[in-house]
Amino acid sequence: MTTDYDLMIIGGGINGCGIARDAAGRGLRVALAEKDDLAQATSSSSTKLFHGGLRYLEYFEFRLVREALIERETLLRAMPHISWPMRFVLPYHEDMRFENETPTSRLMSRVMPWMKGRRPAWLIRLGLFMYDHLGGRKILPGTKTVDLKSGVEGAPLEDKFAFAYEYSDCWIEDSRLVALNARDAEARGATIHTRTEVKAAERTGDHWTVTLSGPEGQRQITARMLVNTGGPWVRQIIGEVARVNTSENIRLVRGSHIVTKRLYDHEKCYFFQGTDGRIIFAIPYETDFTLIGTTDAEHTDPSVKPECTEAERDYLLNFANGYFKQELTAEDVVWTYSGVRPLYDDGATSATAATRDYVLKVNEAGGAPMLNVFGGKITTYRRLAESALEKIAPFFDDVPGPWTAGVPLPGGNFAVDGVRAQIDALKALAPYLDDRWAKRLVRAYGTEAAEIVAGTASAENLGKDFGATLTEAEVRWLMTREYATRAADIVWRRSKLGLRMTQAEIDALDIWMQNEGASVAA
């Protein structure tokens, strides 16, 4: 039978959109359905790092760390607008401890029992040496030692910290990454449905009949293969949507972040180690803020919206207060967000210890195939998509090989160090933009920012002003190109302007989008 599509992808997080882009680029006929907005769940709630995962070295997750380290620079080249290098300052103090369960801590307790779970400085340096060399580096600088007594890095920290190690990783605007992958998938032939839930999928011999429920009501489509990238819902989609038996399980681990007003003057991040074996980051965020996270808490039901509990907030405040001179209180928290990690259940006892690697499983059960995706990191999404295509290709004829490495996402077609030049060019095109506004547009849209401001001589030419430099021209772009239909899609996922807009402004934007929606789409 000729089906409507080759692949029906369930879930518009980073893994679904990454696979959609890769598969569409290889000529497969792809449809993707996301029940809410793109990246509404985990993929907008991460710590937003393209990182190797320094702490995973203690769990001997060398495959994952190596793949992620190599990937950082591949991704950076393909999206220099939404990703950029960052330096991480790791202050050392002898009270820092391992998590008891790590293979490293077990080994250390055997060979150096007198350390009693403490992390020695030489071990951290060894880990950073591996971090520098496991994945190779061409763009990112390596590790160095920082004197906290004399450098700016030490200024906001308590005096007991004398030195730190400083290493590299990268920032990524997680939810923009998802939207740009979806756009590129569509440009290569995929059909992207947002606010469309996959209600049921029935295996009918060699194909699937899939029931979608979205803005146009309920309808059915057919596909040869189902790809389940439901993130926290992956298990539920297997059991309740596709009604397939499986022994595979996931573990839902909530992670929360708090945001405060900017806590220090430089652009580096901090990597803080706790006495409980966990680590947290403090990261310069959206120019005027500091992002602090994250936690590891069991979360049993994906349908319960993850929220930062008071206990998690206080844990993060206490953790940070162990490092910063400035005493932080609940009053300093201006925003929180929370997400659920859909981790593959590898039987680890603690949430912190559960593997962060991904696992792909094909279920054929005598009929049309279904690929289920468990776990994964934002950092490894492109490699995960390539691995998924390796599993998908045998079911189709003549599927070409991998192609996405280094291929720019929309707006990312400029040099890794070219952001300043892009900002200057944009200001030359639209001289009414100040540096901060131009930078925001370039960081969001890259070379495409020029299209948003094209032909405008003044800010008034950009149409209605919704506040915090969000104008009608940008909103129309996001509605027509990036699947935004509600104010929250724009102020919390396509941007973080929600941190600067009042609730009244956000409500007015929402009303405008509902009223103008049909005409904008037309």
**Chain residues in the site for ligand FAD (CB under 6 A):** 10-16, 33-36, 39-43, 45-49, 51, 197-198, 229-233, 237, 241, 255, 294, 339-342, 376-379
Residue showing the smallest CB distance to ligand FAD in the complex: 13
User: Is residue 436 within 8 Å of 456, Cβ to Cβ?
Assistant: no
Q: What is the dihedral of CA 17, 23, 29, 33, to 10 degrees?
A: -20
User: Residue 197 or residue 472: which is nearer to ligand FAD going by CB?
Assistant: 197
Q: How far is CA 113 from each of CA 66, 95, 109, rounded to the nearest angstrom?
A: 30, 15, 4
Task: Encode 241-258: b = buried (16+ Cβ within 10 Å), e = exposed.
Answer: bbebeeeeebbbbbbbbb
CB of 505 to ligand FAD, least distance (A): 26
CB of 355 to ligand FAD, least distance (A): 12
Q: How far apart are CA 315 and CA 295, in angstroms?
A: 8
User: Residue 90 or residue 462: which is nearer to ligand FAD going by CB?
Assistant: 90
CB of 347 to ligand FAD, least distance (A): 19
User: Residue 203 or residue 341: which is nearer to ligand FAD going by CB?
Assistant: 341
Q: Residue 503 is which amino acid?
A: Q
Segment (H or E) for 421: helix 419-429
Backbone angles phi, psi at 170, to 5 degrees: -130, 150
User: Residue 230 or residue 446: which is nearer to ligand FAD going by CB?
Assistant: 230
User: Residue 108 or residue 225: which is nearer to ligand FAD going by CB?
Assistant: 225
CB of 229 to ligand FAD, least distance (A): 5
For the chain, give the number of residues.
522
User: Is residue 16 within 8 Å of 229, Cβ to Cβ?
Assistant: yes
CB of 290 to ligand FAD, least distance (A): 16
User: Residue 47 or residue 471: which is nearer to ligand FAD going by CB?
Assistant: 47
SS3 category, 254: strand
User: Is residue 466 within 8 Å of 509, Cβ to Cβ?
Assistant: yes
CB of 120 to ligand FAD, least distance (A): 26
Query: Counting beta carbons within 10 angstroms of the beta carbon of residue 419, is it exposed (0 to 12), middle (13 to 18) or buried (19 or more)?
Result: middle
User: Residue 95 or residue 390: which is nearer to ligand FAD going by CB?
Assistant: 390
CB of 116 to ligand FAD, least distance (A): 30
